[in-house]
A and B are shown apart, each in its own frame.
Chain A
Amino acid sequence: MKLAIPTKAVPYLEVAPLAIVLLFFFVVPMAMVLVASFFDYNMTGIIPTFTLTNYIDLLTSRTTLELYLETLKFALIVWAITLVLGFTIAYFLAFHVRNPLIAIGLLLLCTVPFWTSDIIRMISWIPLLGKYGVFNRALLELGVVDSPVQWLLFSDFAVVVAYVHLFTLFMIVPIFNSMARIDRSLIEAAVDAGAGRLRVLTEVVIPLSKTGIALGSIFVITLVMGDFFIVKIMSGGRSASVVMAVFEDVNLLFYPPAAASAVLLLIIVTLIVSFILRVVDVRKELMG
């Protein structure tokens, strides 16, 4: 029996399940957030009238600028470090580990940081980086320092360490994926044509891994931009992020200003992502 579905309808039917899920779990909630961001509010509730106050408050507050600068600073630092680490690890896995099974096994090992809860993971940094932690003990024993160094924990350094520890994986996986699909004969050809290791890297591997790098960058940057928990715990409350302001508002049921902050964050993250996608045409690369 032949199904009587017009050929033209097939692609639409194929995307329908995802489209419906996205509609109900993404488009509708986002629309509600957008609407709420224009509502007024006070301590006792939300007042459904149209107002721009939330946006005016947000855009004229010095705190907003400071929070964005802080968050972008972390995003940039973490992006740079995870890119170098992720690329190196992916390169090792793709080109130096001969057995693909072992490569996959090693890749799975990179997920170890996710095997425990947020709180446990954060608290575990104290015996390691703390004033009387392992690193400080070692530094003291080796005579590198006279008194424990304080900046290892509850500092920007600690925040970056925790981000890198968690998010490098999101860089490794897409880059590894791109590299695994590079035709080995291309590299052989390059070597035969007299290219050194560095030239193979810069002229063959990196250009062909661009998609992975772009996707990894999107993952890492959006994850950092959307975090408030890691920054709160690892900085010991000495730093903050954009989302933390949203959290504080939701804490007191001030939904409209929280919604306005969320909309602004969404716009900024979308701009960053579209910039990355402009530099690397992921779709073309994936199809080609």
Chain B
Amino acid sequence: MKEKARSTSRVTRRRVLTTAAGAAGAAVGSGLVKGFPTIWAQNIKDVTLTHVGMSYSTIIDIARQATKDLGFKVEMAVTDHAGFVNRVTTQPDSVDIADGELWQALLVVPRGSYQPINVKKIKLWDKMTPIYTKGTFDGKQVSRIGISPIKVQYLSGAEAKSFAKEPTDWATFVPGFYNADTLGMRPDLIHRPIEHWGELFNSEFKGKAAIQDIPAIGIMDAAMAAEANGAIKYADKGNMTRAEIDKTIALLIDLKKQGHWRALWSTFDESVNLMAAGEVVIQSMWSPAVTAVRSRGIPCYYVPLSEGYRGWGNGLALMKHLNGIKLDAAYEYINWYQSGWVGGFIAKQGYYVPVPETAKNFLTADEWGYWYEGKPAKEPITDPYGKVMEKAGAVRDGGSYEARFSKIACWNTLMDEARYMNEKWNQYRTA
């Protein structure tokens, strides 16, 4: 009986969501929502936008919903990190919307592949999280270590290929998904609390620890640990000197020689499998990977650490070749992107969107409480596809949105010495 009641209530919730989405779509279609021009309603149907990005953000459901709501076609194309920068810079015409990571903008913008976005044409610009638009959170300055969003958010002018330090009317991209990463652990195999990044290097976990094999991110996790342990002091770990890189790599090689690392993982699936199989008990991880381990019924905890989180983020940029009706469609799409459906969908993956208030309309009060407010779930929590992933009573690791983002210690980075770093990282691999 109870089971039945629950399923009925879920159907109802789903129906509410669909209705809401439909209503939003109708509102857009009828021109009720200001800022959406409607004069070209006929020819815009022929427009197809190609949204290119990494696998975690180019989700087909988003394209389907956009196509339904907007009346023109949106397609998703998935690349890996290397594929993204290479495609966007060498085959720019094959991309319309470029959904890249913050640090990738450093490579793409000087090469002139994007066109600046006029923020006046972005309806919710003033509602966007200040993490991106002002470089602050809760009135306080957000960490500038690594590629903090504000460092790449604004361009110096309509034709500029360089970034502006202060807000301007020209944006590199509209903010996309972002999150705060930390270490994942197996609480059933580590029977004590983990509070510091330094634990990643603890000899207690010899042969059972892992870090990610993406040099730019792996080095940040290593630096967080080295700094927490007091092993290395960095002037700016987001932009290390050669000497600092040498020291960090030497430390990693030393640990490797002691047999500390079980593996370095390079794909999402690998990190899930390592953790689920018990090969590794502590490692750097991405939030949905933790969820994936847990949905197999294996305990996995995304530990809030006292030194703070390593932040990362994306942005949706418009490609240079867009013009006329296609450019209008692209603006309409990036405005739609902020209007809530996407935010509600991706929240269930553990990611955040720049205008959380709109996402709220597409989540139940219970889901909002769980994902954004750090409250215990009253009902079972489902993933974006409706699969139950947490029982009632569960609380999200790391607590609320505010608790998380007030503790960003650094961001994913691209150092001036990136090439030297890669070379050193290869030395670490072969050591």
- Residue numbers of A with Cβ under 8 A of B are 43-45, 61-63, 66-67, 70, 119, 123, 126-127, 130-133, 150, 153-154, 232-233, 235-240, 244-245, 247-254, 257
Contact = CB atoms under 8 A, between A and B. Distances in A.
B429 A62 contact: no
**Residue among A62, A244, A252 with most chain B CB within 10 A:** A252
A61 to B, nearest CB: 6
B273 A123 contact: yes
A158 to B, nearest CB: 10
A254 B420 CA distance: 12
Contacts of B270: 123, 233
A141 to B, nearest CB: 18
B269 interface: yes
B418 interface: yes
Contact of A63 (B81, B82, B423): B423
A66 to B, nearest CB: 5
Contacts of B427: 62-63, 66
Nearest to A150: B207
Contacts of B264: 236-238
**Residue among A248, A249, A254 with most chain B CB within 10 A:** A248
Given A126-B279, A249-B419, 14 more contacts: A44-B111, A45-B110, A63-B427, A63-B430, A126-B277, A133-B277, A237-B264, A238-B263, A238-B264, A238-B429, A251-B422, A252-B418, A252-B419, A257-B419
Q: Is the interface of B mostly helix, strand, loop or mixed?
A: helix
| Nearest 3 Cβ contacts at the A-B interface | A237-B264, A236-B263, A44-B110
Given A67-B430, A123-B270, A123-B273, A238 B261 contact: yes
Contacts of B86: 250, 253
B215 interface: yes
A236 B262 contact: yes
Contact of A252 (B85, B207, B265, B277): B85
A236 B261 CA distance: 9
A247 B266 CA distance: 13
A240 B426 contact: yes
A240 B279 contact: no
B82 A247 contact: yes
A154 B267 contact: no
Interface of B: 81-82, 85-86, 89, 106-107, 110-111, 207, 210, 213, 215, 256, 259, 261-267, 269-270, 273, 277-279, 414, 416, 418-419, 422-427, 429-431
Contacts of B107: 43-44, 252-253
Contacts of B110: 43-45
B265 A248 contact: no
A252 B270 CA distance: 23
B85 A251 contact: yes
6 contacts: A119-B267, A126-B279, A127-B277, A132-B279, A244-B429, A248-B422
Contacts of A236: 210, 261-265
A256 B213 CA distance: 23
Nearest to A41: B419
Contacts of A132: 277-279
B429 A251 contact: no
A245 B266 CA distance: 15
A122 B325 CA distance: 45
A13 B44 CA distance: 51
B82 A250 contact: yes
A200 to B, nearest CB: 44
B54 to A, nearest CB: 13
A63 B426 contact: yes
Contacts of B210: 236
B273 to A, nearest CB: 5
Nearest to B80: A251
**Residue among B215, B263, B414, B416 with most chain A CB within 10 A:** B263
Contacts of B215: 248
B271 to A, nearest CB: 11
B207 A245 contact: no
**Residue among A45, A232, A251 with most chain B CB within 10 A:** A251
Contacts of A126: 273, 277, 279
Contact of A45 (B111, B277, B278): B111
A237 B89 contact: no
